[in-house]
Amino acid sequence: MVYLHQHLNDDNKKLKDCGINKPNCIIVATFRTRGGLSYWNEQERIRIPDFDNFKELKPTLKQDCIMGYDDENELRVEMPCGHVFSPLTIFQYIKMLSDNLMSTKIECPSPNCNQEWSFSLIAAAADLNSEEFAKYGNIFASRQINENDLIKTCPHCSSLVQRPQCLTMLRVRCTQCKANDFCWSCSKEWQGGGFTVCGNQNCGTQYINEQLKICGTCIPSGLKIQVPTMRACPRCLTVITYKEACKHMPCWGCNKKFCFVCLQLQADNGSWPCNSHTYECNVAPIQVLK
């Protein structure tokens, strides 16, 4: 029996370097795999956590708390709660939660630890690519919206406020006290203009900006230019994804029409600063909401 672990990383090694000199011999190789898993295409690549941009994540060679991975050649990640996981374990956990329709929160899977993690944090720990980030990010975002989309408590008078199902804007006002508008998402007083981004710290803009940045491109009907597939309405900042038809479209948040290419609003008299729907106007850059 010859243990070849240290030789597998050197392409110049030959059998004789391992003590095998006979010309006619049978070699049986046994490969160690992670629990015999059959990997999907999205799992096969090497995942490297984003330690540079997420200082809460610490690189470590400690053993994985769940799967027991202890490969010395693979960095694992120590989460803010102190538990250690491989990037693949985190990815598997994301997939499991996405399949569970009841999951709305992302918590540490280690027994007796219920520390809640943000999606951005575990996306960095699992090294999600743009497609994976969009796929799983949209799942968790939609669940959180649906979970909080029925009744809220007014931050001014503590009355229960119910938002009409047809209303998609986050800026609302209590009909009981009629005090200042508040945000349906964070329940804090509305700070800025528009109807989607309230201006309060840590309320939605980070996730929206990430989606706007990685959304990809599309070619509106009748044109030959590529534009981002997601835009925020220049009037109320409601995020809209292009599906079909021309570049001129109404915002489903405020009903104001705007150009998906240059982001200019339709004039009150019905005219367009960017001419007809087939005119190739200047493409506005990817938006960054503040």
What is residue 230's predicted lDDT score, i.e. its pLDDT?
A: 87
Burial of 73 (0-12, 13-18, 19+ CB in 10 A): exposed
What is residue 90's predicted lDDT score, i.e. its pLDDT?
A: 92
State the Cα–Cα distance between residues 227 and 284, nearest whole angstrom: 8
What is residue 21's predicted lDDT score, i.e. its pLDDT?
A: 67
Q: pLDDT tens, position by position, for the chain (290 residues)?
A: 343 444 445 566 676 766 666 666 556 554 444 444 444 455 567 888 888 888 889 999 999 988 888 888 788 999 999 999 999 999 999 988 888 766 778 889 888 898 988 888 899 999 988 888 888 887 877 666 555 556 777 889 888 787 765 555 678 888 888 899 998 878 889 887 666 677 777 676 666 777 788 888 888 888 888 999 888 888 877 778 888 888 898 887 778 899 999 999 999 899 999 988 888 899 999 988 77
Q: What are the contacts of 186-194 at 24+ separation with CB within 8 A?
A: 187/152, 187/153, 187/155, 188/155, 189/155, 194/235, 194/236, 194/237
What is residue 263's predicted lDDT score, i.e. its pLDDT?
A: 92
State the Cα–Cα distance between residues 163 and 150, nearest whole angstrom: 7
What is residue 78's predicted lDDT score, i.e. its pLDDT?
A: 94
Confidence (pTM): 0.41
What is residue 70's predicted lDDT score, i.e. its pLDDT?
A: 85
Give the largest CA-CA distance in the chain: 91
State the Cα–Cα distance between residues 97 and 91, nearest whole angstrom: 10
What is residue 130's predicted lDDT score, i.e. its pLDDT?
A: 83
Question: 10 Å Cβ neighbour count for 289?
Answer: 16
Answer for the pair 140, 106: CB distance below 8 angstroms, yes or no.
Answer: yes
DSSP secondary structure code for residue 284 in this structure: P
SS3 240: strand
State the Cα–Cα distance between residues 118 and 238, nearest whole angstrom: 22
What is residue 212's predicted lDDT score, i.e. its pLDDT?
A: 82
SS3 18: helix
What is residue 236's predicted lDDT score, i.e. its pLDDT?
A: 77
Would you tell me the crossing angle of helices 130-147 and 205-214 to the nearest 10 degrees? 140
Amino acid at 92: Q
User: Which CATH number describes the domain made up of 47-143?
Assistant: 3.30.40.10
State the Cα–Cα distance between residues 140 and 152, nearest whole angstrom: 20
Residues 6+ apart with CB under 8 A from 168: 238, 252, 253
